[in-house]
Amino acid sequence: MESVYAPLSESCAKALGDKVYEKRKLASQEIEKMVTEFNAKNNSAQIRKLIEVLSNDFASSRDANKRKGGLIGLAATSLGLGKDSSKYVSELVTPILNCLSDQDLRVRYFACESLYNVVKVARSSIIPFFPDLFSALSRLVADSDQMVKDGSELLDRMLKDIVTESSQNFNLEAFIPLLKERIYVKNSYVRQYVISWISILNAVPEINMVTYLTDIIDGLFTMLEDNTQEIQRMCETTLTQFLKSIRNDSSSVRMEDTINILITHAQSPNELIKSTAITWIREFVIIFGSKVLPYASGIFTAILPCLEYNVDNMKNIKECAVSVNKSMMKLVSSKEHKSQNIEQLDLRSIMAVLSQYLTHNSVQTKVAVLEWIHHLIIHFPNEMSNHSSQLGNNLLTILSDNSDEVVLRCISVLAEIVNSQHSKETTDFNKAHYRKFLLSLVNLFSDDKSILDYRASLIIRQLCVLLNAEYIYLTFAEIINEEISNLKFASLLVRLLNSILMTSSELFELRTTLRDISNPNSANLFKTLYLSWAHCPVSTISICLLSQSYQHVSELVNLFAEIEITLELLTELDKLVQLIETPIFASLRLTLVSKDNNCADAQYLAHALFGILMLLPQTDAFNMLKNRLQCIPNYWGQQPISEKHSLQYKSNINFVDLLQHFKKVQRNHREQRLTQRKRSVLVNDI
């Protein structure tokens, strides 16, 4: 009677399902011999029947020992078939694959061993089953049993050898979805397994993994956060290999999708991920050039916060970010592709990012942002015009920054905005954009006294360098006359403007202009400034001394008898005396010893200075001015004063009207002080 396990004999079938390994081994040897004979006679029917028995009655049995026997029997069948096992590879592999996930760890181990033998014999014929093998092994490498892990590693190495030598038959497109699925598994063993396959395939010349880089690069960067150093090392090495491949052949990579992934990871809190991503961005900027410009806003989001890093472990990130920033600036300003560049730049999104980082804590970041805004305005003034006008308020707030470098950069941007608008119009300074800008600056000084006290001088001096100093002072003067109702603030602002005018090297040319009021342009400048300088008596004297209007100075000093002499005014007079001793007023001091045509000016000047001396308490300033006046020769002292010989007379300026204006302004100041005192008394009474 034929055995129910035919073509297996009853005794062989019994031994194959025995719990003792040696008996199963003997049975497998009998099967191998049987299959060899069947194959020699081309008896494929018997071979298929045998495989079916081993698969259904043994490998799929509920009895674990039978399953083990079925697995060793299938391996023996493959060995017996030799190179002809490729004809039966599907029937051989399928039942073994099912056992790789068996609950019994010994069955799983024998399944690995069995599959190893089948793969070793079948070689390239196994490739169509690679996706299933890869999925199964990705689970086994994380198995709880070490023997199963060891068995899966042997099988994995065999598979890698086969895929490498048969790469032309490998279906990479079918493999990528498996990688994408497994690459996000957090188990370190699985990660190591996945990275090893990516690295192996990327090293095969016939396989172009770069084509599918976008599908896996996110997972690779995610793996860098693994706590296992070996995983980090493998991942870094693999990414370095990919980057090298891209340098050699950039046409295969989907740059547009890949760079967005890099930008995302460059913002990771993980230092290694951030560093690697920014390194990649740097390389992409070098490799792809202007093609990265559409992604400028994302690149800025990635690199700008990194510019603040100063600690040792973050310096590499900072240096890389600085390099990217410089490269991007060169790309944007390339004259060769200027029209193409502006078409690729999304200025709206770029300005949104730059505006966001204007308020960053880092000085370096804010400086870089301001440099970028300045750079864009210079190279694309027309396209930036709408964005520039919206920047105004944000930039004004930056003027209160603690860093001088940030403030100076900000002033440069503001000046460039004004210049870019000004160039579209005539050379007439009195334009709405100029006035609007300086009025907003005055309002800032008014709202924040700390800026007025500690930043205003720097701001105004720098603006006078970057813009037309005369325009600046004329516009400020008009604003003070027409817009400011707070007389106290007007006085403070005039005092500041006068101090800058009298002492700053940046205002040398403007001082030179004011010294020649016989020139109509200089006379107009003097009159405009005088109208606002009238808010501050000592400042008014200063500007008249500068313009050599000594007769008018003499008249102003006489009016001090009607002005309330406060500590503040005495302090200003003290500063004026010290100013007279500086090189700026060398010509004034020489006037005191002049003869002939300047005799009248010398007499008026001496009279004014003696008047100031009489106003001063006997302080160091008093002694300084007293000593100076004692040096005046008396060779003109007895001569009558002829105003027709004075420089003031030659200017054709109506000083009578100016004097009346001065009196009116000072009267308004006095009335306002009285009103404030009354209010103060009433408040105290309440």
Cα–Cα distance for residue pair 422/416, rounded to 1 Å:
9
* In contact, 202 and 239? CB cutoff 8 Å: no
pLDDT in tens, 553-586: 999 999 988 888 889 899 999 999 999 999 999 9
Going by pLDDT thresholds of 50, 70 and 90, the confidence category of residue 142 is very high
pLDDT tier at 203 (50, 70, 90 boundaries)?
A: confident
- Contact between residue 605 and residue 550 where contact means Cβ atoms under 8 Å apart: yes
Phi-psi region of 82 (alpha: psi -120 to 50; beta: other; left: phi over 0): left
Q: What local confidence, expressed as pLDDT, does residue 596 receive?
A: 59
pLDDT at residue 686, as a whole number: 55
What angle, rounded to 10 degrees, do the helices at 188-202 and 172-182 form?
A: 150
As a dihedral over the C-alpha atoms of residue 427, residue 433, residue 439, residue 441, rounded to 10 degrees, the angle is -100
65-74, 169-178, 459-468: least confident range: 169-178
Tokens describing residue 363: 């000085």
Mean pLDDT of 621-629: 93
Q: Of all helices (H) and strands (E), which one includes residue 131?
A: helix 130-140
User: Which band of pLDDT confidence, cut at 50, 70 and 90, is reported for residue 41?
Assistant: very high
DSSP annotation of 208:
-
Averaged pLDDT for residues 576-597: 85
Q: What angle do CA 298, 303, 306 make, to 5 degrees?
A: 145
Q: Could you tell me how far CA 334 lies from the centroid of its own chain?
A: 20
CB atoms closer than 10 angstroms to residue 96: 27
- The pLDDT of residue 426 is 46
Q: How far apart are CA 681 and CA 686, in angstroms?
A: 9
Pairwise CA distance, residues 458 & 492, whole Å: 16
Start-to-end CA distance of the chain, whole Å, equals 127
**Residue ranges of domains in the chain, CATH in brackets:** 1-170 (1.25.10.10), 480-684 (no CATH)
Is 60 exceeded by the pLDDT of residue 226?
Answer: yes
The one-letter amino acid code at 592 reads L
- Percentage helix, strand, coil for the chain under 3-state DSSP, each rounded to 5: 80, 0, 20
User: Considering only CA atoms, which of 525, 520, 561, 569 is closest in space to residue 546?
Assistant: 525
* Mean per-residue pLDDT, 101-122: 94
Name the pLDDT band for 430 (thresholds 50, 70, 90): very low
Mean pLDDT, residues 172-199 taken together? 91
Q: Whole-angstrom Cα distance, residue 366 to residue 369?
A: 5
Burial class (CB in 10 A: 0-12, 13-18, 19+), 561: exposed
CA angle 197, 154, 35 (to 5 degrees): 120
pLDDT higher than 70, residue 598:
no
Q: Which stretches of 423-566 are DSSP H helices? A: 432-447, 449-454, 456-466, 469-482, 487-503, 508-514, 520-533, 537-546, 550-559
The CA distance from 575 to 621, in Å, is 8
User: Measured between alpha carbons, how far is residue 630 from residues 554, 592, 624, 626 in Å?
Assistant: 18, 11, 10, 6
Q: Are 319 and 310 in contact (CB under 8 A)?
A: no
Residue among 298, 367, 665 at smallest CA distance from 490: 665
Higher pLDDT among residues 131 and 647, named by residue: 131
pLDDT at 429: 46
Cβ atoms of 395 and 410 within 8 Å: the answer is: yes
Query: What pLDDT band is residue 640 in, cutting at 50, 70 and 90?
Result: low
Angle (deg, nearest 10), helices 347-357 and 363-379: 150
